[in-house]
Chain A
């Protein structure tokens, strides 16, 4: 007999009850959903093919045909922006999947196993935290490109951002695991004969999970920024349409001196809104799961 209201629905609506109270969380969610919608319906929303060149309509500021203007080759910037959303979301989410999984695993093991293994992992985390982020990414992408592996550049970018972005998550998870580990119910579980794996998955992970989730969302924000920066530096895929690429082309074609403000402003604003969206969601989840951060409304 299936219950009328399934447990999943109850959890989701319960969560929404709490989440909807945090104003910034709702705003963040609205922004992110907005961009997801654009990405999903890109083909319906963009009036032109983003790669279509029109030599007669170059360097045009926003007009009735090209809502965001055109670039040096006549591409319609609005269409480019719409399709570019897909790349940003794709890279952001997938790179974060890698970072979040790696970071959580390392954080879990690093916090749970004390003494040598745990401390060793702590050193590893600290090491990665110290390495300068952008230079590392640049060096990695440059080297991987030189290796001429037949993987599309997009996935190289995803991979590199993913394996360099885990240290923040790992550090946060690790300190949380350290706190949870000391709690009594862990001892009780152990006395009852629970093995390490069981304790980790059944007891520690659920307690740590909200933090994992909050951190993952914040990581997406960082990943989007990294992706944009890589594209801008010319390390991304030159054939894909992405916001970073738009800016890269803008700068290479002297948009600045030609005062083509429309070419520069739109991608920037979109980036800001998307990153802000994820950041707001991440902070809201953090606030909800950490009672101390909650505001005591006067």
Chain B
């Protein structure tokens, strides 16, 4: 028991260091741009009152030496104080906090479906390797993997929303329903989620299919699979009891890594569907060059992936007996 705690503490340490490096990266990014950093955080093309610029400088401690600035910045970020978004006229943290749940819902549902679908089809494809079902599944996966996420979204909108008129096009809920019953609201939100979820799922599932398929093929050639067959197990039993548990393990670490790309996919999806999540926020921050918001978003993105990876590490220590807890 204790060894596991030590191991996870070490992993947590690495995670924290990663987050720290991201913060430093954000910090440096700012200093690298020409002009007064304080001025950059404010809307361009407009005259800004001196007092506003001064309070910005004070907030970021821009009069102090660089090392102190860095420390201040790190402390502020860790306290979830990301500064002020001039576009939304609100603290960055609260702007992000308002949109984050939407993204989590979208990504959560999509990833759950992608993983289940991808692993299932990947396992079958690997097991029946070379046979038609493998070729078809893998080709499907390959085609979807080669599509830009935003393009899938566009095509879906054109087909289902514009042409067929089935699903709503944008947003996450219909404003008029704000007073409707909870059930109706959930159903409404569901309708808004269908196309974005399908978009995100299609791209991700292909990746999981390939991951699982390769993992399975690696395991299939191991000697213990032959031993299992020699014991008189049916092919189905061999697959379920011996092959899949061993193929699943490396796949889990790869899921966590894939998440750094899923964020990008979610970003594109939200933009296309005007879905009010942090991806949409990034798009707007980009358009209006709201750097404070952009930085905060980047930080949150990184933290999400770090957390996911750490969660995968934790899960892994429980399911793989070979993990050396030293």
Interface residues on B, range: 35 or more
B75 within 8 A of A: no
Bound CA–CA A256/B33 (angstroms) = 37
CB distance A295 to B162 under 8 Å? Answer: no
Bound CA–CA A95/B143 (angstroms) = 23
A272/B146 contact (C-beta < 8 A), A130-B302, A139-B29 known: yes
Bound CA–CA A185/B29 (angstroms) = 46
Stretch at the interface among B78-86, B88-96, B148-156: B148-156
Q: Identify the closest chain B residue to A261 (Cβ).
A: B158
B142 within 8 A of A: yes
- B22-54 interface bits toward A, Cβ cutoff 8 Å, 1 = contact, 0 = none: 100000010011100000100000000000000
CB distance A132 to B301 under 8 Å? Answer: yes
A123 within 8 A of B: yes
CB distance B34 to A233 under 8 Å? Answer: no
Neighbour of B154 across the interface among A123, A131, A138, A264, CB < 8 A:
A264
B121 within 8 A of A: no
CB distance A279 to B33 under 8 Å? Answer: no
Q: Which of A139, A247, A292, A297 has the most CB of B within 10 A?
A: A139
B261 within 8 A of A: yes
CB distance B306 to A130 under 8 Å? Answer: yes
Stretch at the interface among B65-73, B233-241, B282-290: B282-290
Contacts of B289 in A (CB 8 A): 142, 146
A293 within 8 A of B: yes
CB distance A135 to B221 under 8 Å? Answer: no
Bound CA–CA A256/B161 (angstroms) = 10
Neighbour of B158 across the interface among A127, A132, A259, A271, CB < 8 A:
A259
CB distance B263 to A132 under 8 Å? Answer: yes
The A interface, classified by DSSP as helix, strand, loop or mixed, is: helix
A229/B268 contact (C-beta < 8 A), A132-B260, A143-B33, A261-B158 known: yes
CB distance A259 to B162 under 8 Å? Answer: yes
Bound CA–CA A272/B148 (angstroms) = 8
Cβ distance B316 to chain A, nearest Cβ, rounded Å: 15
A32 within 8 A of B: no
A180 within 8 A of B: no
B318 within 8 A of A: no
B18 within 8 A of A: yes
- Residue pairs across A and B with Cβ atoms less than 8 A apart, 17 shown, are A130-B309, A131-B305, A132-B264, A133-B261, A135-B267, A135-B297, A135-B302, A138-B286, A139-B294, A229-B148, A229-B149, A232-B150, A233-B271, A233-B286, A250-B154, A264-B151, A265-B155
The 4 tightest CB contacts between A and B, nearest first, are A134-B264, A275-B146, A132-B263, A132-B301
